[in-house]
A and B are shown apart, each in its own frame.
Chain A
């Protein structure tokens, strides 16, 4: 094992490479890291709601009489005189599900916008295909090998960051698969080869109780020297790194190399030390955990530009519930996680846009089991500094049969690519949308105005 390969990331910044070889203080390394304009970038976070969220019980068109009529047992009551369980009024027409109360102040303050009747133009009601299309970014075309977020990553120019495209998931989502590097990690504070822990037992404990570096770190392990932990060369981590460095340039080899680069970057930036801001409490569950860690990655200046988290369980064919129940429980997690993230990042939200996506909406009418079946148009939230919030964007039709898609579903009046495109252009400064959405022309005239121009 040579220093060379483990320091690969920094050697790329050749001007400062000499300093890195020495026992440079961490602050300087951070400066090196930041030099590749890593920290200055803007970030887009996608929250994918897998299973098709019922948009009509999320952002409720309570003023349309068709709504309550179509849903005799699961409709959310219209807002009124503080009645418990009623919708939280937004604009006299729409209301938020009461479980989304954490989001209402963000809406009122203009940090949160809503796009209703949004979705994919493809007519499939298959979860699998619809998710696939929404992630590939090419509805109707199954042969697309990569995801739109990965293609977007390749349009963003050079970066030194290994975390430009990151998913807080166990497996890399379709949206991020492709030729550009992308990292999937389930837990950021446990991302290393475990042998290092084993070898450091009793010796390598960091002050915060986490064990991080290996035996070799003894000699000069003071905070800020991330260079020495592999110096004794006995580590399996180094051997694995070499095995994967030499592996073929295929999916497995590439992922192996990206793994070790990510381990290295995480050691240096140490996102785990960025605890949630005082008073911020993320909801229990996977989404809350993901959003908390996403905030840590962003605060650690790891250069996150395209980020992905997901939350499953939205497929409520039975006993969906109304003001309380299964959907309410999930929405509480969603709203709570988004609000906590917003509060946690504070001013940094000026550089962040969070948007939610789901593969399709659900039937306007409830089905025979107090649930809803697969529909068409759904709803997206858009949150962050640049957001044109406090409004429900998009064209929302009347809920009478003649205005519905196939007489049963909310139609799609905003193609999801127009909203994604708007975020990419106005927030991330992407100029080549043709590469992101190859068979679709995203026209600024079709932007719903979710972001300030």
Chain B
């Protein structure tokens, strides 16, 4: 299947519509765009807080030297050259460079073995008088490493084919998480990481659903390549990604009249169809049941709904349940080669495929527009319709403003960003530029107005302290313990980006404890040297200047000065207290 060809069609549609409607891009509005971005400390710190995962010891100097305006511009145009320092850190995580096919070949447990493992666990639980069945992933998390190793060894003995694998799916997810933390902590092109995170979260998939864990590497690469490009291109890549097709079930959404059995017979492939008999590996728990005798097939609304609610229009974007059904019909047959109808079976390449026999024929009517009967083109037309819809411009803009400016996005800025979105045919870089050069973003009104998510808090602590991460695992575990396990947000909404989601007694306590652990060198695999902090000024001043350049409140300073005095200027402890302070929770 030639995906590029498809996108060329899509792209030309976009361009045509743009050229028809628009002249040259209008100039920036002088009322609301800062013409000359100030190059003072406060602005630079604010910009670092929002466009990076937190300032490190040398960042402020670098930004000021370059000039805030030039630095923002450089972040908006991440070069494609290799970030060699980062690449060196990522190199030991060998699964990160593998594509889906290679990962599945090397790490996917064969379905029959998986069933046996689950059965053995269930029997063990029953023997120990434990009830309840957690999903395979959860179940595996709950075991201590020794028990896990023992179980694995026993299984390898029983199933020699396991020995040919390079590891378990656990490793794949663990390395994804580790890679994400290392990138956020050490990447030069910070805004690139911020945007990759933003879009992954916008198009969230859950790593523990079936083989999705093996598809996320490719999925993120697809997203990353497009995160500053045209929204429609990004949307199209997601729509045809095996990760999303599997996660939101579209790979099995078919014409109710379609019979894969017939299809396989026609193709002379024999055997049982895999369409529904194919239990997704891993997540979700095994049914353990004999397959019911009668199979039914039909459309599945899951992707169609979330495409409009979460990916494009927003829940109030003006679509109805009828639209959901029509969109779902148009996307029937959008599936995964080797998973869905259209064979060949057991192809682990996991590429997008359009299965024409599974597609529902006929015109569809979506948002008042007739989508002519046209196989795969129907879906592409719908994606175009959605990507260029005014509701989408508003919805995406508001979400970006929420991420970069304030939990309650200032409406005037959302409107301007949406206007740029529409004007530029959904050019994400230009929408960001409107936002990042705005009075709202650069002015003092919203500084320190955002509360960091757990991921941001942990990574910004590492960056602020200049700690050396030898092993990211303890950090990813902490982030999980704070309620934000990476790649493991089950619902399609992704993680929320507002303070009330992350401010709670439990999460604050976790943060304070992490702060003390990190500064005292108690986080395994992460080395922090309190002696690395410049000590030209008084201890507290030096610590605060490096860890929290945006500053402590007078009262906090008073408290910490008293602490400093009492403990003979224990630098590590002061670092811990600053990291756990209310001020450091903000950005």
> A361 at the A/B interface (Cβ < 8 Å)?
no
Contact of A263 among B285, B305, B509 (CB under 8 A): B509
> B58 at the A/B interface (Cβ < 8 Å)?
no
> A193 at the A/B interface (Cβ < 8 Å)?
yes
The reply to whether A243 and B305 contact each other, CB–CB distance below 8 Å, is no
The reply to whether A281 and B131 contact each other, CB–CB distance below 8 Å, is yes
Contact of A283 among B132, B505, B516, B577 (CB under 8 A): B132
The reply to whether A240 and B131 contact each other, CB–CB distance below 8 Å, is no
The reply to whether B500 and A251 contact each other, CB–CB distance below 8 Å, is yes
Contact of B504 among A172, A193, A233 (CB under 8 A): A172
The reply to whether B132 and A368 contact each other, CB–CB distance below 8 Å, is no
| Residues in B whose Cβ lies below 8 Å from that of A312 | 490-491
Shortest A105–chain B CB gap in Å is 15
The reply to whether A373 and B296 contact each other, CB–CB distance below 8 Å, is no
| Residues in A whose Cβ lies below 8 Å from that of B256 | 368
Which residues of B277-302 are within 8 A (CB) of A?
A: 279-280, 284-285, 287-289, 292, 294-302
* Contact-residue size bin, chain A (C-beta under 8 Å from the other chain): 35 or more
| Residues in B whose Cβ lies below 8 Å from that of A233 | 566
The reply to whether B130 and A234 contact each other, CB–CB distance below 8 Å, is no
| Residues in B whose Cβ lies below 8 Å from that of A255 | 503-505, 508
A126-B309, A172-B500 known; A368+B559 contact, CB < 8 A: no
Contact of B491 among A127, A195, A325, A337 (CB under 8 A): A127
The reply to whether B299 and A368 contact each other, CB–CB distance below 8 Å, is yes
B295 — nearest CB in chain A belongs to which residue? A73
> A332 at the A/B interface (Cβ < 8 Å)?
yes
Give Cα distance in the complex from A183 to B298, angstroms. 45
Give Cα distance in the complex from A337 to B130, angstroms. 12
A332 — nearest CB in chain B belongs to which residue? B132
A185-B505, A234-B566, A369-B249 known; A318+B300 contact, CB < 8 A: yes
The reply to whether A243 and B125 contact each other, CB–CB distance below 8 Å, is no
The reply to whether A253 and B298 contact each other, CB–CB distance below 8 Å, is no
> B555 at the A/B interface (Cβ < 8 Å)?
yes
B321 — nearest CB in chain A belongs to which residue? A125
> A236 at the A/B interface (Cβ < 8 Å)?
yes
The reply to whether B490 and A313 contact each other, CB–CB distance below 8 Å, is yes
The reply to whether B301 and A240 contact each other, CB–CB distance below 8 Å, is no
Give Cα distance in the complex from A406 to B322, angstroms. 11
Give Cα distance in the complex from A24 to B493, angstroms. 51
Give Cα distance in the complex from A144 to B284, angstroms. 34
B246 — nearest CB in chain A belongs to which residue? A318
Give Cα distance in the complex from A319 to B501, angstroms. 31
Shortest A132–chain B CB gap in Å is 10
B298 — nearest CB in chain A belongs to which residue? A368
> A57 at the A/B interface (Cβ < 8 Å)?
no
Give Cα distance in the complex from A244 to B289, angstroms. 54
Give Cα distance in the complex from A247 to B553, angstroms. 9
Give Cα distance in the complex from A185 to B504, angstroms. 8
A72-B294, A256-B582 known; A333+B133 contact, CB < 8 A: yes
A368-B256, A369-B300 known; A177+B500 contact, CB < 8 A: yes
The reply to whether B309 and A128 contact each other, CB–CB distance below 8 Å, is yes
| Residues in B whose Cβ lies below 8 Å from that of A246 | 553, 555-556, 559
A318-B300, A369-B252, A369-B276 known; A259+B321 contact, CB < 8 A: no
Shortest B579–chain A CB gap in Å is 11
- Mark each residue of chain A from 218 to 237: 1 if its CB lies under 8 Å from any CB of chain B, else 0: 00000000000000011010
Give Cα distance in the complex from A68 to B487, angstroms. 38
Contact of B131 among A50, A170, A185, A332 (CB under 8 A): A332
Give Cα distance in the complex from A286 to B287, angstroms. 20
Shortest A453–chain B CB gap in Å is 35
> B166 at the A/B interface (Cβ < 8 Å)?
no
Interface of A is mostly: loop
The reply to whether B509 and A373 contact each other, CB–CB distance below 8 Å, is no
| Residues in A whose Cβ lies below 8 Å from that of B481 | 170, 186
A253 — nearest CB in chain B belongs to which residue? B582
A252-B499, A285-B132, A332-B133 known; A72+B296 contact, CB < 8 A: yes
> B135 at the A/B interface (Cβ < 8 Å)?
yes
Give Cα distance in the complex from A13 to B586, angstroms. 35
Shortest A103–chain B CB gap in Å is 13
> B205 at the A/B interface (Cβ < 8 Å)?
no
> B569 at the A/B interface (Cβ < 8 Å)?
no
Which residues of B560-587 are within 8 A (CB) of A?
A: 560, 563, 566-567, 573, 576-577, 580-582, 585-586
> B424 at the A/B interface (Cβ < 8 Å)?
no
Contact of A170 among B321, B506, B582 (CB under 8 A): B506
The reply to whether A370 and B582 contact each other, CB–CB distance below 8 Å, is no
Interface centre among A246, A368, A371, A373 (most CB of B within 10 A): A368
Give Cα distance in the complex from A50 to B295, angstroms. 28
* Contact-residue size bin, chain B (C-beta under 8 Å from the other chain): 35 or more
The reply to whether B520 and A198 contact each other, CB–CB distance below 8 Å, is yes
Shortest A134–chain B CB gap in Å is 15
Give Cα distance in the complex from A315 to B315, angstroms. 18
> B253 at the A/B interface (Cβ < 8 Å)?
yes
Contact of A370 among B292, B560, B563 (CB under 8 A): B292
| Residues in A whose Cβ lies below 8 Å from that of B297 | 368-369
- Mark each residue of chain B from 495 to 515: 1 if its CB lies under 8 Å from any CB of chain A, else 0: 000011111111111001100
Give Cα distance in the complex from A411 to B43, angstroms. 55
Contact of B296 among A317, A324, A370 (CB under 8 A): A370
| Residues in B whose Cβ lies below 8 Å from that of A326 | 284-285, 287
Shortest A304–chain B CB gap in Å is 14
> A421 at the A/B interface (Cβ < 8 Å)?
no
A285-B132, A319-B279 known; A50+B505 contact, CB < 8 A: no
> B138 at the A/B interface (Cβ < 8 Å)?
yes
> A322 at the A/B interface (Cβ < 8 Å)?
yes
The reply to whether B581 and A184 contact each other, CB–CB distance below 8 Å, is no
Give Cα distance in the complex from A445 to B284, angstroms. 42
The reply to whether A284 and B130 contact each other, CB–CB distance below 8 Å, is yes
Shortest B406–chain A CB gap in Å is 14
The reply to whether A366 and B296 contact each other, CB–CB distance below 8 Å, is yes
Contact of A185 among B285, B287, B506 (CB under 8 A): B506
Give Cα distance in the complex from A8 to B133, angstroms. 43
The reply to whether A367 and B301 contact each other, CB–CB distance below 8 Å, is yes
A185-B505, A312-B491, A324-B289 known; A252+B133 contact, CB < 8 A: no
B291 — nearest CB in chain A belongs to which residue? A73
Give Cα distance in the complex from A244 to B573, angstroms. 17
> B336 at the A/B interface (Cβ < 8 Å)?
no
> A141 at the A/B interface (Cβ < 8 Å)?
no
Give Cα distance in the complex from A177 to B496, angstroms. 15
> B451 at the A/B interface (Cβ < 8 Å)?
yes
A255-B504, A284-B142 known; A374+B560 contact, CB < 8 A: no
Interface centre among A74, A256, A288, A312 (most CB of B within 10 A): A256
> A329 at the A/B interface (Cβ < 8 Å)?
yes
Shortest A133–chain B CB gap in Å is 11
Shortest B175–chain A CB gap in Å is 24
| Residues in A whose Cβ lies below 8 Å from that of B506 | 169-171, 184-186, 191
> A391 at the A/B interface (Cβ < 8 Å)?
no
Shortest A343–chain B CB gap in Å is 13
| Residues in A whose Cβ lies below 8 Å from that of B556 | 243, 246-247
Shortest B498–chain A CB gap in Å is 10
| Residues in B whose Cβ lies below 8 Å from that of A318 | 249, 252, 280, 300
| Residues in A whose Cβ lies below 8 Å from that of B376 | none
Give Cα distance in the complex from A363 to B468, angstroms. 52
Closest 3 CB pairs of A and B: A368-B298, A283-B132, A170-B483
Residues of chain A whose beta carbon lies under 8 Å from any beta carbon of chain B: 50-51, 72-74, 124-129, 169-172, 177, 183-186, 191-195, 198, 233-234, 236, 239-240, 242-244, 246-248, 251-253, 255-256, 258-259, 262-263, 281, 283-286, 288, 312-313, 315, 317-319, 321-326, 329, 332-333, 336-337, 366-371, 373-374, 406
14 of the cross-chain contacts (CB-CB < 8 Å) are A170-B481, A172-B504, A184-B506, A186-B506, A194-B513, A236-B580, A252-B451, A252-B582, A252-B585, A256-B582, A263-B509, A288-B132, A313-B135, A325-B288
Beyond A125-B305, A283-B130, 6 additional contacts (C-beta under 8 Å) are A236-B573, A284-B132, A319-B280, A325-B285, A332-B132, A368-B253
